[in-house]
Structure 1
């Protein structure tokens, strides 16, 4: 009988050990809606149609990058199921698509949805649902507000930082400038305009000679450009999205207006703006960047750029490798993969935001040297550094040092 008791005791111990190890394994894995042992559902909203359709390349690049990741085994063994919808850059449509992704598709998070007005339309909804609105594709300053909107985070440098940098450069190098501003009449355009005025400070009223806004529904902005020229301004602050940026560059050349031209980063794409507008028409335009330019031979032997070009050739051969949007999509997709890696087996929405707010000196392969991604629970602005650049020939030439811009939420 003692032998039998011993067997039962051994079996009981083995069962207890097994149960403990099983419960420990189960305890290590935590999932919210949209995550399983094999899959992570990621939602996305892009303007594949409409006035901002040039940005659709970002979503297509991301889809291709996640395909690459999946073919390589996924993230911690899980495949990314990337569900991307078109909203035509229409906020009511964005709301419809966000609800579909959250309530019908049941994604874990919405990633890199594009545009300031579209993201503004779903800002409160995403936070009330406690679903990550992660790495939004807009530089509006308000995305860095972890206290009031803990489920929303930006990625790129914010718009106010960029125009403050332009303002500082003008105050130093052209303090008698007469500035004509063209801006999109929405939160995106107004954010850039605020940064410019804040940067110019007390001199804003005397240096800015005209503030002209346009609507995205307008087929052309030619009449606005003619009006700006008539003021006699010698600096043009071009705060437009790609379609209108190309129009402005062309019209300037057509009417012979040659001011010092500042072009916001979101429209500095060689592929989708400069080339269609004509290289000869874009000479000496000044912008700012945080990403490497594919057209710049400086990066010809750069391992990160080689990796990007190999990716484009294999996974997105029909894509435009010169398009700034392709580089953006690649870089932000790499950042999401890093966040998901850090999540390990805790794929809850809360942990996604926790890991996104815990990026330390992370670099994607396409960031300019000296620029790093850093976040914290009180800082939801991953990239806050830029370098100025001037368009020469068929590419952007960087000049000056990396500039840190810290504009709070």
Structure 2
């Protein structure tokens, strides 16, 4: 065969190969560490022990949900390998576990690590390694900072915007009230206090009569409550985690202190806080939510909550069904599955963050009607809405309208 014909055939073959490999059906799969044709390795850090261990039910719910996903065939044919470690709510331990997940286990991403102090401790490390610190289980405002920390994204409404909503309620109900503040002495507690002061504006100096902090290592906050009562404050802003919230409610009853009691939604679980503190001691407490309360009968026939119940029956039957943190774990796990589905066969860390920053009107089963998950490359705050609630009888009763996050970037 003449040389020119051989050349023409070679060119034609090369063009045919190029066309084939350029077609969508022959799209090349892309992987970073932690992803293969058969597996997606997800890291997680939870306080399975220590003072915040009540929140570990979130990690257990997530693990159960991923078992469900795997049993149904996985995500785009890949099974989730969920690796979850205990940090005992200790920032140094969290750093150790983050390094273990990234450098030892070589996970694709770290998902829903819990706590403001712990995540603050690992944020710079995760961003320097360019590993997603995705859907952080904390409402700190700092997680919505894509410019400086493009590998970190929160999930729930920010603590500051939650405080802003409470401040509006206080200004309406007690415009000349005397506010006593109790907060955990770390970034989590201080973020709430900043939000309250920002929203009260010039009136903060006269209305806030005491700011009392406690350490997470304290066995009890009884003495703090006694000190707060002595100020004759008629509004109590309670920024605590579960164990201390229950203690505060009990001690207030003991010392007969009856201010307007505003409890941050981090600690408003019926099963883990209200019931141990006593239903009779908890009447009238004000909080907020963006999730359906599993203890509230109004959701009995709700399709989303029925789906949650069916899931628990099969994959996590021992779960406390009155604990709203079960709903949280279920919702955020659905959020991650949505992101991974959007990733398709491009399971690189950069694409995980691209897809996480491209969520449009996603509605997990357990959020309140009207609440939607939305993100963009300049807005890393997935959920931006809350509704006030008052504790009555044995459940939280929602009131007012869904309120948008005033601090959304």
TM-score scaled by length of structure 1:
0.95
Q: Which runs of 5+ in 1 are unaligned?
A: none
In the TM superposition, 1:281-320 aligns within 5 A as: 281-320=281-320
Do the aligned residues in 1 keep the contact of 2:384 with 2:408 (CA within 8 Å)? Answer: no
Do the aligned residues in 1 keep the contact of 2:49 with 2:87 (CA within 8 Å)? Answer: yes
Q: What is the alpha-carbon distance in structure 1 between the residues aligned to residue 157 and residue 382 of structure 2?
A: 8
Q: What is the alpha-carbon distance in structure 2 between the residues aligned to residue 328 and residue 391 of structure 1?
A: 19
Q: What do the CA deviations read for 1:305-354 (whole angstroms, capped 9, x no partner)?
A: 00011111110011111111111000000000000000011111000000
Q: What do the CA deviations read for 1:111-154 (whole angstroms, capped 9, x no partner)?
A: 00000000000000000000000000000000000000000000
In the TM superposition, 1:81-92 aligns within 5 A as: 81-92=81-92
Corresponding residue number in structure 2 for 1:220 = 220
In the TM superposition, 1:34-183 aligns within 5 A as: 34-183=34-183
Quick check: 1:196 aligned with 2:217? no
Q: Matched residue of 1:237: which SS? A: strand
Do the aligned residues in 1 keep the contact of 2:66 with 2:82 (CA within 8 Å)? Answer: yes
Question: Cα offset for 1:241?
Answer: 0.4
In the TM superposition, 1:354-393 aligns within 5 A as: 354-393=354-393
Q: Matched residue of 1:28: which SS? A: coil
Q: What is the alpha-carbon distance in structure 2 between the residues aligned to residue 302 and residue 319 of structure 1?
A: 19
TM-score scaled by length of structure 2:
0.95
Do the aligned residues in 1 keep the contact of 2:116 with 2:138 (CA within 8 Å)? Answer: yes
Corresponding residue number in structure 2 for 1:238 = 238
Question: Cα offset for 1:19?
Answer: 7.5
Q: What is the alpha-carbon distance in structure 1 between the residues aligned to residue 237 and residue 312 of structure 2?
A: 33
Quick check: 1:206 aligned with 2:182? no
Do the aligned residues in 1 keep the contact of 2:185 with 2:215 (CA within 8 Å)? Answer: yes
Question: Cα offset for 1:406?
Answer: 3.0
Q: Matched residue of 2:152: which SS? A: coil
Do the aligned residues in 1 keep the contact of 2:164 with 2:406 (CA within 8 Å)? Answer: no
Question: Cα offset for 1:216?
Answer: 0.3
Question: Cα offset for 1:21?
Answer: 3.5
Q: What is the alpha-carbon distance in structure 1 between the residues aligned to residue 172 and residue 391 of structure 2?
A: 20
Q: What is the alpha-carbon distance in structure 2 between the residues aligned to residue 199 and residue 43 of structure 1?
A: 37
Question: Cα offset for 1:28?
Answer: 2.9
Matched residue pairs, number?
A: 405
In the TM superposition, 1:266-285 aligns within 5 A as: 266-285=266-285
Question: Cα offset for 1:14?
Answer: 8.0
Give RMSD over aligned pairs.
1.9
Q: Matched residue of 1:227: which SS? A: helix
Q: Which runs of 5+ in 2 are unaligned?
A: none
Q: Which runs of 4+ in 1 moved over 4 A?
A: 11-20, 22-27
